[in-house]
Amino acid sequence: MRLLFFFILIPVVWMTGCDTPAPESLGPSVEGVTLADLRPDVMEKPMPVMLFLVTTYLVDAAYAEEMQSCYIVAGGAIRFWDKKAFEENGFLAARGTGMQAGLVNACLVRLGAQRLGQTTLMLDAGTEVPFSETGVGQEQTVSYRTAGGGTAAVSLQNGRLGWHLTAQPNRDLSGQVSVQVVPVFVPQGIRNWPGAEEYVQKMAHRFNECRFDVSLREADFVLLSLKHDPEEELTAFQRLLFGQPGGKPQMRLYVISCVKAEG
């Protein structure tokens, strides 16, 4: 029996043991390859990054009328979506240059404006970011003026209302950026969703009647605040965008400065 098993095993060993296994494929050889060989033939131009500094001031409501003199000093051109609707909502905006910054700052100091804080915005082209937000918890109705002298109302609940900024390099004028500023209400938690920007566009409420566009060079700035008669009560829309809770009647004023216009 053992002898028979031995004769059966011999051909099996011969059949399996005489073939030499093919060497494992290691892929293409990298011998002699340098870092320069790995670089693309055409270097991609980096996306432009634009930098803005937003300074928030507090101004006593009693000085609202006098504060307009600071806007006259700036006096630069702004393209409003609907200028009449913007003004009827009680808003003020003006563009200034770097050479006017000192005069405008002196004007604000004279009116007792107090700096509340600063926000740095670093934007890729076309990215929209908020620079001012106020939380809205329980449902409240906000009325505002629309194009053609009409009035609209929208119900806001569980979200944040604030001013949003978008910037694009100006293709026609080197060293300038095209900036868009608009109030937007965003429901709570949307920014944390995958593809958040797409959801914000679909589910947010944009108050385009209050939108404006402006071209800025480095050191140019925009003043943005509320034109308010202290004898009149603020609307809910105005209070959410510019009001300051607590203490004496005060409103917020924003200075949006262009720090870097090209990437």
pLDDT tens by residue, 58-79: 998 778 778 888 888 887 789 9
Residue 229 has pLDDT above 70, yes or no: no
Task: Output DSSP code: residue 93.
Answer: E
CA distance 156 to 140: 5
- The band of 1, judged by pLDDT with boundaries at 50, 70 and 90, is very low
Pairwise pLDDT comparison (241 vs 174), residue with the higher score: 241
HSE-CB for 84 with a 13 A CA cutoff: 6
Give me the residue spans of the domains in the chain: 49-260
Q: Letter for the amino acid at 36?
A: A
pTM for the predicted model, two decimal places: 0.77
pLDDT for 215 = 93
Judged by average pLDDT, the poorest of 45-49, 100-104, 124-128, 194-198 is 194-198
Contact 242, 226 (CB under 8 A): yes
- The band of 198, judged by pLDDT with boundaries at 50, 70 and 90, is low
Q: Are strands 91-96 and 221-226 parallel, antiparallel or unpaired?
A: antiparallel
The pLDDT tens digits for 5-51 are 433 443 444 344 444 444 444 444 445 555 555 555 555 555 667 99
Residue ranges of alpha helices (H) inside 40-164 are: 64-74, 83-88, 101-110
Task: Output DSSP code: residue 15.
Answer: H
Contact 237, 143 (CB under 8 A): yes
- Calculate what percentage of the chain has a pLDDT beyond 90: 48
pLDDT for 37 = 53
